[in-house]
Amino acid sequence: MTAPTPYLHLPGTARAALTFYAEVFGGAAQLHTFEEFGRTDGPADAVAHGYLVDGPVALFAADVAGDTPSFSSQGMMLSLLGAAAPSVLRTWFSALSEGGEVVDDLQTRAWGATDGQIIDRFGLHWLIGFEGDED
């Protein structure tokens, strides 16, 4: 069984978001437009279905159409605790914070682990951390 994969419904920003996340995490964004899917309920170049490929983070996104509500989040974080080497996690933290809000700076805690939180420019709340600082 695989882990749950977030699927975001965004307000016309799916292309920008998936491209951004592909740049942050590596890999590429695979994007399919409304036109490709034969949809006429939004702009032809809007993203009907998109996802990250060939990288360490799985994520899906699409642009909403009509009265469909777009993504918003409260009370949930996407955790990247120990998901990569400390140097990589530091790079991801820095990149995700560009244009976003640092909720809690990346710092070593009293128990010895390092973590921090960011709400990125697309509204995703990330918890990034690691034990030690060796690569």
Residue 2 has what pLDDT?
75
Answer whether residue 23 shows pLDDT above 90.
yes
pLDDT given at position 119: 98
| Domain at 78-131, CATH from 3.30.720, 1.20.120, 1.10.3860, 2.60.40 | 3.30.720
Which residues have a Cβ under 8 Å from the Cβ of 49 and sit 6 or more positions away? 32, 37, 60, 62
What pLDDT digit, counting tens, does each position of 27-44 carry? Answer: 999 999 999 999 999 999
User: What integer pLDDT is reported at residue 41 of this predicted model?
Assistant: 95
Identify which of 43, 12, 9, 46 has the alpha carbon closest to the alpha carbon of residue 31.
Answer: 46
Please tell me whether residue 72 adopts helix, strand or coil conformation: coil
Q: Could you tell me the residue ranges of all domains in the chain?
A: 7-63, 78-131
Using pLDDT thresholds of 50, 70 and 90, give the confidence band for residue 135: low
Which are the contacts of 101, defined by CB distance < 8 A and separation ≥ 6? 118, 119
Look at residue 1 in the predicted model and tell me its pLDDT: 52
Q: What is the pLDDT of residues 88-113, one digit of tens each?
A: 999 999 999 999 999 999 999 999 99
Fold matches, 7-63 and 78-131:
yes
Residue 117: pLDDT over 90: yes
The arrangement of secondary structure in 7-63, i.e. its CATH architecture, is 2-Layer Sandwich (3.30)
